Structure 1
Amino acid sequence: MTMSDTLVPALLPRHIAVIMDGNNRYGKINQLGKGQGHIAGKDALDPIVEYCVSTGIEVLTVFAFSSENWLRPPSEVALLMHLLSLTINEQMPRMIKYRIRLRFIGDRRQLSDDLQLLMADAEQKTADFEAMTLVIAISYGGKWDIAHAAKQLAEQVQAGHLSVEDINKEQLGKYVQLADAPEVDMLIRTGGEYRLSNFLLWQSAYAELFFTPTLWPDFNVDELAAMLEEFAQRQRRFGKTSEQVTAVQQIS
């Protein structure tokens, strides 16, 4: 019996988000050529995606390129953009094989026309797949996401479709990225850092946080399975007391 066989579906997260950190350090530690750490990180995603599908995870969102990553050296940015294109092309057969929907979130205006077309084509071709949704965050930032949603709300008010009094967290939540997906239940950061780095700030309000020193290219299915086991043991109270949560569980 494998560890995945012991997982109880009802106790699994519906939505897992991953900050894939540590690619550069992996390359330096292993004395790889320039950019090879990022290539190793790209390859590490495949078994994680397949495991999430087989386990019954509904949504997997990965942080591929942040809005702050534009500040990195131009040569590294160019490499990352190239790897993103490769990732999309390489993922498509896997998306079709496993019936995975591919989506992208982030500010696409800074991306090349070719990359934008590639993303749109991948989304269109996989739009009807329902086994799982793989979301790749590119040129994404949580603060941008919330500001963008606020701007859309303001436009609704300006057009007379909404009044200022109508604005609340539910209305704002309709305009953030992934508004139609479950909120993040489990957020993982690899690489030994203990911060969210502006990732899915709204969507992760009640996410269970998992931090590991493992560099992303070394992160594997066994470590993810162990985290899922721990997730199943955590009591998620959402502001309630332990007694209230226990009482509801006993009734259900």
Structure 2
Amino acid sequence: MATDIASLDEGKIIPDHIAIIMDGNGRWAQAQGKGRVAGHKAGVSSVRAVVKGARQLGVKALTLFAFSSENWQRPEKEVSVLMDLFMFVLTKEVKRLHKHNIRFRVIGDLSRFSDKLQKSIKKSEELTILNDGLVLSIAANYGGRWDIANAAKMLASKVQKNEMSLEDIDENSLHKETCLADLPELDLLIRTGGDYRISNFLLWQAAYAEFYFTETLWPDFNEAQFDMALNAFNQRERRFGKTGEQVKQIEE
């Protein structure tokens, strides 16, 4: 769970694992009289700011929702720009991540991406695989229901191969087959853009996460906004099924 690294942030409890639904790019662009794709390009700066802030604070894992399995339904031009931005990040930004000891990975069903993009993803992951700092996971063509269904499929395959029995299947065994199973439990899920839903993102992982919703559109989400989310997180009492009194006794 979250780790207290007071020396880094004046006594704040810093979440081990933060996930962000980066929403509002299109509306940000439209409000400025620009095409929706301009918002996606502007949002790259916010990604840099959040990654920098997370790394400096000592966050262990940061997971960003870049492209959902439902986003293929968007206008073809917008999808094309998103794919181009993805390639840009893989060819340019990953070198910067590597320089700062950040491990980069992509989660989701990558089979729908072009061969070129899949090769670029693999190359970027291999470049940073030995880095032991922040783990930056990009969710692309990802859906929480897909994640759970895929984990169930993996377990079914093991049963079919007699590698495990039906009796061995429980929450723990299913968890091990989900994306991000090797990372700390999700502590904080942030959504920008004003909507109050998690849109099929990390359904399994968010079981006990704290949620933080903000009206701020993603291109305007900077390090100051990130700090506001962490301050809100610090106001929460995380009970995990216990009573408030039990939590206080443990803390004492």
Q: Same fold (TM over 0.5)?
A: yes
For 1:201, the equivalent position in structure 2 comes to 203
For 1:58, the equivalent position in structure 2 comes to 60
Distance 1:48 1:216 in 2: 11
Which amino acid is the alignment partner of residue 53 of structure 1?
R
* Alignment deviations for residues 93-119 of structure 1 (CA, whole Å, 9 cap, x no partner): 221221100011000010111111111
Matched position secondary structure for 1:35: helix
Query: In the alignment, does 2:75 pair up with 1:95?
Result: no
Which amino acid is the alignment partner of residue 44 of structure 1?
S
Aligned positions of 1:16-165 closer than 5 A: 16-165=18-167
* Alignment deviations for residues 44-97 of structure 1 (CA, whole Å, 9 cap, x no partner): 211111111001100010000000001112221111111111122221222122
Q: Is the CA contact (8 Å cut-off) linking 2:26 and 2:35 kept in structure 1? A: no
Moved over 3 A (4+): 4-7
Distance 1:147 1:89 in 2: 32
User: Residues 195 and 135 (structure 1 numbering): CA distance in 2 closer, same or farther, change over 3 Å?
Assistant: same
Unaligned runs of 5+ in 1: none
User: Residues 26 and 95 (structure 1 numbering): CA distance in 2 closer, same or farther, change over 3 Å?
Assistant: same
* Alignment deviations for residues 169-209 of structure 1 (CA, whole Å, 9 cap, x no partner): 00100000011001210000000000000000101111100
For 1:239, the equivalent position in structure 2 comes to 241
Identity within the alignment, %: 48
Q: Is the CA contact (8 Å cut-off) linking 1:16 and 1:184 kept in structure 2? A: yes
Unaligned runs of 5+ in 2: 1-6
Matched position secondary structure for 2:226: helix
Q: Is the deviation greater in 161-170 or in 91-100?
A: 91-100
Query: In the alignment, does 2:11 pair up with 1:8?
Result: yes
Matched position secondary structure for 2:233: helix
Deviation at 1:34, TM superposition (A): 4.8
* Alignment deviations for residues 144-168 of structure 1 (CA, whole Å, 9 cap, x no partner): 0000000000000011111111111
Question: Which of residues 169, 172, 175 is equivalent to 2:174?
Answer: 172
User: Residues 132 and 6 (structure 1 numbering): CA distance in 2 closer, same or farther, change over 3 Å?
Assistant: closer
Distance 1:44 1:90 in 2: 16
Question: TM-score, normalised on structure 1?
Answer: 0.95
Distance 2:9 2:185 in 1: 25
User: Residues 209 and 164 (structure 1 numbering): CA distance in 2 closer, same or farther, change over 3 Å?
Assistant: same
Which amino acid is the alignment partner of residue 82 of structure 1?
D
Which amino acid is the alignment partner of residue 35 of structure 1?
V
Distance 1:19 1:37 in 2: 15
Aligned positions of 1:215-234 closer than 5 A: 215-234=217-236
Distance 2:62 2:137 in 1: 6
For 1:192, the equivalent position in structure 2 comes to 194
User: Residues 119 and 31 (structure 1 numbering): CA distance in 2 closer, same or farther, change over 3 Å?
Assistant: same
Which amino acid is the alignment partner of residue 8 of structure 1?
G
Distance 2:220 2:51 in 1: 15
Distance 2:153 2:8 in 1: 46
Question: TM-score, normalised on structure 2?
Answer: 0.95
